[in-house]
Structure 1
């Protein structure tokens, strides 16, 4: 019996150490991101992803950073740079889907990635991606109907499309305001899960006033 208890204790200790290393690494990567050290943060998330093969969160953050880099100084970006970052984002979105096939956060990032291309050249990429973006948002909101991250981004996409076609944005304002209200009580599953961007939602809602 003593031997069994010792084995259980050792296994538990090993598990806790592994968890601690994961958490320490993720916190360090998030800290680097907060310091705007995007390349360093991405490199650390990539290293964690190679170890945490059944955990989609490190891959999520690698893809998210690559997409953020494409939005940075967007007007001065060229198509080659967008493609390099976009290909990296796609690689890690695919990795997320390998780990969890129907992960709505993979759809969320995919919609963001396609939106970069539509924003870059609407004439060239609008017909190619706009319909798919709408479908992705419909899918993720249907899967998680009270997630303010999905609701807000879908409303912002719909508002942008309405403005482009000269339509009223009013039908989408209610959903955006609902998302803002939900952010007040939104609790991600862990500190490393997507947090959303309530500030951007609030800024978008100003167009509704």
Structure 2
């Protein structure tokens, strides 16, 4: 199972100097990421997080950068290093925002990255974590489209592995589409990614 994420930043214009600096920094970090400057992006997100204090979003973004990078890497040492860094960032994010569906989804993706990297080594230990984390995220936010879409993709992958029909989870994708259409947030840089991945996941329904 291969997961590729395209991240879209939705900006809200703010007025105070502190907010403007935060916005500029986050925008610059996303530009680094867009230009495949992965380490520069993650490092800038980390610096922003330390400056902002008690803001989970920069730590979340730093973790996401590292996790996404592993999906396109074949270097085992790099993959494990990035996933360890990502877990540290998510641990920091959780200290500022408990029972956060977005952080929980990202942690599910982190654990799935271990399975994707080496199913034999991590499948037995990390697969149950992935399932539990997606279930937790959906319990926190039942209409979160990322939780629904990526949980469906995970379940489809598991169904294929066990020789079952992945199409059983196609209705979940339709549900995610509806929730993506309803999604909105006025919080700068709040996660709203994933909609562009619907067609890729839907290939499992053909």
Q: Aligned equivalents of 1:138 and 1:176: distance in 2? A: 16
Shift of 1:189: 4.0
Aligned to 1:124: 121
Q: Aligned equivalents of 1:53 and 1:27: distance in 2? A: 18
Matched pairs, number: 192
Residues 1:176 and 2:158 aligned together: no
Relative to the length of structure 2, the TM-score reads 0.88
Inter-CA distance 150–189: structure 2 relative to 1 (3 Å threshold): farther
Which of 74, 77, 87 is matched with 2:75 structurally? Answer: 77
Structure 1 runs not aligned, ≥5 long: 1-14
Residues 1:20 and 2:17 aligned together: no
Residues 1:146 and 2:128 aligned together: no
Higher relative contact order (CA 8 A, sep 6+): 2
Aligned to 1:200: 197
Q: Which protein has the bigger helix share?
A: 1
CA contact (8 A) 2:166 2:205 kept: yes
Aligned to 2:89: 92
Deviations 1:15-44 (A, max 9, x none): 811111111111111122222222221121
Larger radius of gyration: 1
Aligned to 1:10: none
Q: Aligned equivalents of 1:125 and 1:189: distance in 2? A: 38
| Aligned-residue RMSD, C-alpha | 1.5
CA contact (8 A) 1:59 1:96 kept: yes
Extract structure 1 runs of 4+ deviating beyond 3 A.
none
Structure 2 runs not aligned, ≥5 long: 1-14
Q: Aligned equivalents of 2:155 and 2:103: distance in 1? A: 19
Aligned to 1:37: 37
Relative to the length of structure 1, the TM-score reads 0.87
CA contact (8 A) 2:156 2:169 kept: yes
Q: Aligned equivalents of 1:196 and 1:171: distance in 2? A: 24
